[in-house]
Amino acid sequence: MNQENKSRVAEFVLLGLSSSYELQYFFFMLFNFLYIIIVLGNLLVVLTVISEPALHTPMYIMLSNLSILDVFLATYATPKMIHDFLHEPKTISFEGCMAQIFLLHVFAGGEMVLLVAMAYDRYVAICKPLHYATIMNLCKCTGLVVGSWVIGVMHSLSQLAFTVNLPFCGPNVVNSYYCDLTLVIKLACTDTYVPEVLMLLDSGLMGVASFLLLLVSYTVILVTVQCRSSTDMTKARSTLTAHIIVVTLFFGPCIFIYAWPFSNFPVDKVLSVFSTVFTPILNPIIYTLRNKEVKLAMHKLKTRYVCSRLPSQLSLLRLDVLS
C-alpha cells in the first residue's frame, strides 16, 4: 500500500481544446465572455423568481434551481479551462481531478432528476389541472428539489468510490480540458474492465431511467394538449415547447458521449463544451423568451431598480447644484 501511494501520479496533464496559441487566445476571450453571460443570466432568473411573489410556484421554483445548477455546471471546469488557455503546462492535481469528477456528476445528475421533476410538474398542471394545487404543494416541490440534489450527490459518490482508489502510477495525459471520468479510468495501471462496467451501469441506469421518464411524461402531455383546444392549452403548448428544447439540449450530447464512452472522438470535446457552456446560456434564454410571466417579472424588477435609483441620483444632483 505504501509503495502504491509513493508511485501514484501527483497530477494530470490536460491537453485542452487546442494546441494553437492563436486559437487559445481567441478561446480565452470567447469563454471569458460566455462565462460572464452564464453567471449573470442565470442569477437574473433566480433573482427574478425570488423578487416576484407571483412566481413563487413549483414551476418557477424548479426553474430557479435549474439556473443554480447551470451556474455550478459551468463553474466546475470552465474557470480552470479559461486559465489554462494562457498557461503551460495545463496540469491539475490528483485531488483537483477527483474533485472535478465529483462535482460534474453531482450537478449533471441533479439536473437530470430536476428535469424529470419539472416534467412531472407540467404533467400534473396540464393533465390534472383541477388537482394541481393539491398535488404540487410547496412541501412536495421542496421534496423534489432537495431530492434532485441528494440523488446527484449519491450518484457522484458511487462513481467516485470505484475511481479514487484505482492505481494511477504512470500515464497521466487526459485528452480533454477537464477530468473526464471515462478518460481518467483508462489511465489506471490495472485492468479497468470492472470499473468501466460499473460506471456504465451507474450512469447508464440513471440516464436511461431519466430519459424514459421524460419521454413518457412529455408523450402523455403532448397527447393531452392535442386533444384539447383552448387559450390555456395554447399557453401550455408554449411552456411545453421550452421544456422539450431544454431536455433535448441536455440529453443530446450526453447520449452521444456515453454511447461510445471509452472511445475518444474529436467531437467529444465539442459536445462537452456544449453541455457545460452553451446549454447553461441557452436555458435562461429559452425560458424567458417563451414565458410572459418571467418577462413581465423582469420588467418589474428593472422598473423597481430604476425607480429606487432615480430619487437618490436626483438628491445628489440637487446637492451639487446647491453647493
**Per-residue model confidence as pLDDT tens digits over 228-259:** 666 556 666 666 777 777 787 777 777 766 65
**Per-residue model confidence as pLDDT tens digits over 88-135:** 889 999 999 999 999 999 999 999 999 999 989 988 988 888 889 899
- Across the range 18-29, mean pLDDT stands at 88
Q: Sorting pLDDT into bands at 50, 70 and 90, what band is 2? A: very low
Classified by CATH at the fold level, domain 11-287 comes out as Rhopdopsin 7-helix transmembrane proteins (1.20.1070)
H helical segments located in the chain: 2-7, 21-51, 58-75, 78-85, 94-127, 132-135, 138-161, 181-185, 193-227, 231-259, 266-273, 279-289, 292-322
**Per-residue model confidence as pLDDT tens digits over 90-102:** 999 999 999 999 9
Q: What separation in angstroms does the CA of 84 have from each of 15, 72, 90, 109, 154?
A: 10, 19, 6, 26, 30
Quickly count: other Cβ atoms within 10 Å of residue 311's Cβ: 9
Q: What is the pLDDT of residue 163?
A: 85
Quickly count: other Cβ atoms within 10 Å of residue 66's Cβ: 27
Percent of the chain with pLDDT over 90: 28
86 Cβ neighbours under 8 A, 6+ residues apart: 24, 25, 28
- The answer to whether residue 323 scores a pLDDT higher than 60 is no
- Across the range 29-58, mean pLDDT stands at 91
148 Cβ neighbours under 8 A, 6+ residues apart: 65, 110, 111, 113, 114, 117
- Across the range 17-25, mean pLDDT stands at 85
Q: Sorting pLDDT into bands at 50, 70 and 90, what band is 227? A: confident
Q: Taking the domains of the chain in order of start, what are their residue ranges? A: 11-287
Q: What pTM does this model have? A: 0.85
